[in-house]
Structure 1
Amino acid sequence: MGYTGDFDSERMARAYGKEMKISPRHSVEICNTIRGMHVLGAKDLLEAVMEKREPITFRRYNKCVPHQKTSKGPGRFPVKASKFILGVIESAQANAERSGMDSEDMRIVTAAASKGRVTRGYMPRAHGRWESFDEETTNVEIILEILED
């Protein structure tokens, strides 16, 4: 399990969410939105998305995505992915506190999502047949860095 960014253990904290049952496309859009944000601002944004007050603007996977009133272009409210990514951010904050850093005064340096393992499933149908479906999983990594004064 490797990380995509460089890591300095004295100034940074990290967390990795492995094979979470969320949409890879929604995860990529959320990570592109929160990358570079202050930790508290990113947490507030994800909580607003879960309450359907603030949409995530879709920049890459935006085919047939409707415009929202408060977004600048096509957007959605990926509630489930926001909940899981918020958990990874809180885990990175806990890792920062364990290392003796101030977890409130950090920014998100790396936020990356990639496809995880595909779980195959089968659903029985009529007349002894079945149809298969694939369940996608997503790997999410978050790296936090202390803000310089």
Structure 2
Amino acid sequence: MGISYSVEVDEERSAKAMGRELTVSKKDAVELCRFVKGRSLDGARETLSAVADGDEPVPLKKHNSGSGHTSGIDGWDAGGFPKKAAEALDDVLYNAKMNAEEQGFDTDEMVVEHIAAHKVGESRGMKPRAMGRATQWNSDLIDIEAVVLQEDYEAVGDDEAEDENETEADTDEGADEGGED
């Protein structure tokens, strides 16, 4: 049965990783995914560790009424420091980095091509109340998928095809020149 991702990827120049059923806020995970997408792999991991340490704020673009304004965000007011979600995303990107190394890629040239968070269910819980009652207190379960892509990758088959095309072009030119005499 295998794990399915929400995007099609080029297997020759990418590595994938997924965190399954993580107990983090979906809102925070989605905002962090938007924040690190398109960055280099090492840069994204540094950014996530800075967010977890409280050094770099994440702009909250959706559902931000009631959230405080944070200085240090260019062009945006509402921001925050979602520590738990940042640590979970950092673990997923670390896994993607190790998968890329295992596949033989240079991780210094990898870029976060796709990263997304999806709600997959709830973990049921109860909160005790007065008079012996209880209220449901459920937690969301989130899947986070990441695809990292090597930027300047040339497939081995492409080099051989180019060499064949150049060789054919050279022989065609030689045949044309010989026919002109």
Structure with max Cα Rg: 2
1:125 Cα offset (Å): 3.0
Aligned residue number for residue 31 of structure 1: 33
Q: CA deviation at 1:123?
A: 2.9
Confirm whether residue 139 of structure 1 aligns to residue 143 of structure 2. yes
Aligned length: 149
Consecutive aligned runs of 4 or more in structure 1 exceeding 2 Å deviation: 123-128
State the alpha-carbon separation in 1 of the partners of residues 38 and 100 from structure 2: 17
Structure 2 counterpart of 1:99 = 103
Q: Which residue of 2 aligns with 1:74?
A: 78
Instruction: Tell me how far apart the structure 2 counterparts of residues 73 and 109 of structure 1 sit (CA, whole Å).
Output: 27
Larger helix share, 1 or 2 = 2
The CA distance in 1 between the partners of 2:93 and 2:57, in whole Å, is 19
Matched, 1:45 2:34: no
Q: In structure 1, what is the Cα distance between the partners aligned to 2:151 and 2:126?
A: 49
Q: TM-score, normalised by structure 1?
A: 0.94
Greater strand content: 1
Q: In the aligned structure 2, how far is the partner of 1:47 from the partner of 1:19? A: 21
For 2:101 and 2:71, the matched residues in 1 are separated by: 38
For residues 14-69 of structure 1, the C-alpha deviation after alignment (integer angstroms, 9 at most, x for no partner) is 00111101000000000011111111111111111111111000111212121111
- Structure 2 portions without partners, runs of 5+: 154-181
TM-score, normalising length: structure 2: 0.78
Query: Contact between 2:109 and 2:152, CA under 8 Å: does it hold in 1?
Result: no
Distance 1:28 1:102 in 2: 27
